[in-house]
Amino acid sequence: MTGVLTEAVARLLLAPSLILAAAILVKGYSDVGDGFTAGVVAGLAVLLQYAAFGYRRVERVLPVRAAVGVALAGLALALAVAFVPLLWGAEAVTHYPRPAEHVVHVGTVELLTAVAFDVGVFLLVLGMSVGAVDAFARAAGERREP
């Protein structure tokens, strides 16, 4: 079903897509895009690999087995950012540095807890899309070739 061309395109697109996703993610607070979009874009890039190579070859090259773990790690990160401030009496989802405080910039990236929260969303969405695709691909593949 998939030809040499598809495989070539898929292989060529993987790295740029992931770099695009990373860019969308880290520039989220200063430019268009956020963790969710970044997660979907990265997920699409991996999905393309599945379409081109099948789950067996993808699993050999990419760490897709960790998808569920990545998703849960993302959730844990977001939960931590949201609820740790409760420990010292601040409200849930209080981000630091507070308004009017100084923010450290690394290029366009701002070092904010809100960005960490967004990274959590990114990891969850990426893990979710890859994990779901992997589950279905595996189930379908194992049914065809038991």
Contacting residues toward another protein, per CB under 8 A? 24, 28-37, 40-41, 43-44, 47, 51, 68, 71-72, 74-75, 78-79, 82, 92-93, 95, 97, 99-100, 103, 110, 112, 114-115, 117-118, 120-121, 124-125, 127-129, 131-133, 135-136, 138-140, 142-143
Select 10 or 121, whichever has its Cβ closest to another protein.
121
Q: Which helix (H) or strand (E) holds 23?
A: helix 4-26
Tokens of 1: 């079903």
CB 29 → another protein: shortest distance, Å? 5
d(CA 95, CA 112): 7
- Structure tokens given for 81: 């950012």
If the CB atoms of residues 11 and 114 are measured against another protein, the closer one turns out to be: 114
Angle at 36 between CA 30 and CA 38, to 5 degrees: 70
